[in-house]
Amino acid sequence: MRSWRTALAAAGIAAFSFTSASAQDKEITLCWAAWDPANALVELSKDFTTETGIKMKFEFVPWTNFADRFLNELNSGGKLCDLLIGDSQWIGGGATYGHYVKLNDFFEQEGISMDDFLPATVRAYSTWPKGEPNYYALPAMGDALGWVYRKDWFENPDIQAAFKEKTGRDLAPPATWTELKEVAEFFQGREIDGKKVYGVSIFTERGSEGITMGATAALYSWGFKYENTPGKYDMDSAVNSPESVEALEFYKSLYECCVPPGYSDAYMVANLDAYKSGQVAMMMNWFAFWPGLAKDENVGGDKTGFFVNPKQNVEASTLGGQGISVVSYSEKKDLALQYIKWFAKPEVQKKWWSLGGYSCHNSVLNDPDFASTAPFAADFLKAMSGVQDFWQEPIYAELLQAMQKRVHDYVVADKGTAQEALDQLIADWTISFEDDGKL
């Protein structure tokens, strides 16, 4: 999950030094977003306090303010957070500007191997430069964009018969974006249980990252790439390829045909509200919300089913999730590192999953019984095998703001064409990378 609005400001690299804490100071603060997984982490961390005697404080901030709050804290060298579960795109800035402690020596000293974690999560949540063995976080919360659908509606015999009559095929969770739109169009404006319903809730939010996360779910499935050659920033014919143009046109068509009225600025919470209130047949959102949704009194249990991001040309999902880092400005880095060591234990990771967190540890994910542990477990594994992420450059926020504008202007504000939007995006990004010395 990511919500970026503030550019990282350059800061001097902090000296790497651990400070011993006196007995009365054996308390550390962990910072994260305020959502269901954070509540699960509070419960899990009670075991850490029992084992070590180190007390835990938590600073949880709503997603709407998450990035502003904690990036400002890092940029100012603040000491509020000893541990920070920051989004994947923060790794570049966290490493470059010295906000995060490099963990290689600690991992080697304590026998913590990154080979024990799902490779996609190590690359996305821990490394900078991407894929290089330089670690600034431990994978903490695996996540990807997925979908839910009203299973009870899909299994209703009358609705099934009507869909079959209209389309000539059986009503089922969509395997492609083409099928998804066909299902969404079928449900749009239909009356179910005396109530008018709509096809789908998708991300359209302009202010932080919402429409980018939603549109890339389609773009990646059409084969979108940020560069022709990784690390070369050669974006022309990649970002604006014919497949990319088609994908963006499709996302706009889905917005125009099949969302609830007034759905021009929707992200995580709005989508959840639309689905829980029975407005829509399908919803895109992050896997992190699925444990809570499965238990929801209105739509949980047998009323909801889950499916991975649909394929079009390729199987791909938009990456969410975070790693846990030790903040370099903390005066209790030694205690924070003890938490990292404890959190990396296989038995802790197993309990983390059972409480509603998304473990990235292979011992959990590769368990033969994993797929049966939750109705969305198998889909989560499939999604994480094909995740793609936004730029993780230190200037990611500037890059994100440009994409938010160009995509929202085209999809929601109906300005110009998809080709023009992507061409303009390349122009925006080219200026940013030139200013950053990359071009």
- What pLDDT band is residue 253 in, cutting at 50, 70 and 90? very high
What is the mean pLDDT of the segment spanning 258-274? 97
Chain mean pLDDT for the chain? 94
Instruction: Give tens-digit pLDDT for 188-234.
Output: 999 999 999 999 999 999 999 999 999 999 999 999 999 999 999 99
Cα separation of 187 and 198, whole Å?
6
Same domain, 196 and 314: yes
Same domain, residue pair 46 and 117: yes
Query: Which residue type sits at 401?
Result: Q
Q: What is the pLDDT of residues 122-141, one digit of tens each?
A: 999 999 999 999 999 999 99
- Bridge partners (DSSP) of residue 201 are 283
State whether 254 and 342 are in the same domain. no
Domain containing residue 60 = 23-143+321-388
Count of domains for the chain: 2
Token duo for residue 420:
């023009």
Residues 135 and 264 reside in one and the same domain = no
Residues 311 and 331 reside in one and the same domain: no
Is residue 266 domain-shared with residue 327, that is, in the same domain? no
Q: How far apart are CA 55 and CA 68, in angstroms?
A: 27
Residues 176 and 289 in one domain: yes
Global pTM?
Answer: 0.92
200 falls within a domain:
yes
CA triple 289-252-265, angle to 5 deg: 50
Which residue reads 């290089």 in tokens? 132
Q: Is residue 418 one of the residues assigned to a domain? A: no
What per-residue confidence (pLDDT) applies to 64? 86
Residues 334 and 309 in one domain: no
Q: Is the pLDDT of residue 12 over 50?
A: no
